[in-house]
Amino acid sequence: MKLITKNTDYAIRALMTLASDRDRFFSAKEIAGIQDIPYHYLRSILQILTKNALIKSREGVGGGVKLIASPSRIHVSDLIIMFQGDADPGECLVKGRICSNHQTCVLRHEIKRIERMIQNQFGKITIQTLLNKEKN
């Protein structure tokens, strides 16, 4: 049961690095080195974080990315949605098309309930709380 994919994981770790010094720019190369993340892959992830305004970038020499959102306002649940998409829309299909009892299906109901519970749990975890726990 893969709750978090690599890109989400990498995003979290990159953000934690950025949160360690909120005022300066880190280059993708630097973050990749610190966190041991494949450079090109990380770059694509940072671009998504930039588009979502969690970080801002500066091009050219001495450039890189810098945190702009508050670490306590970046919830892991947001990152999951950002990188893994909101809980699959179709879900519980029969041979590609939606099955007849789609609306009433009890199993589906239970799954949806548990999914909400999971999102709720991940919503309580922020970059800040992760950093706090790390220090102990």
Tell me which residues touch ligand FES (CB under 6 A). Answer: 92, 94, 99, 101-102, 105, 107-108
Residue 102 interaction partner, one of DNA, ligand FES, a copy of itself, none, beta carbon < 5-8 Å per kind: ligand FES
How wide is the angle at C-alpha 130 spanned by C-alphas 134 and 38, nearest 5°?
90
Task: Provide the mask over 47-86, with x wherever binding to DNA is found by CB under 7 A and - wherever it is not.
Answer: x--xx-----xxxxxxxxx------------------x--
Q: Is 117 in the site for a copy of itself (CB under 8 A)?
A: yes
* DSSP one-letter code for 20: T
Quick one: what does residue 60 bind among a copy of itself, DNA, ligand FES, none, with the CB cut-off 5 to 8 Å set by partner type?
DNA
Terminal alpha carbon distance of the chain: 28
Tell me the helices (H) and strands (E) count for the chain, helix number first.
6, 2
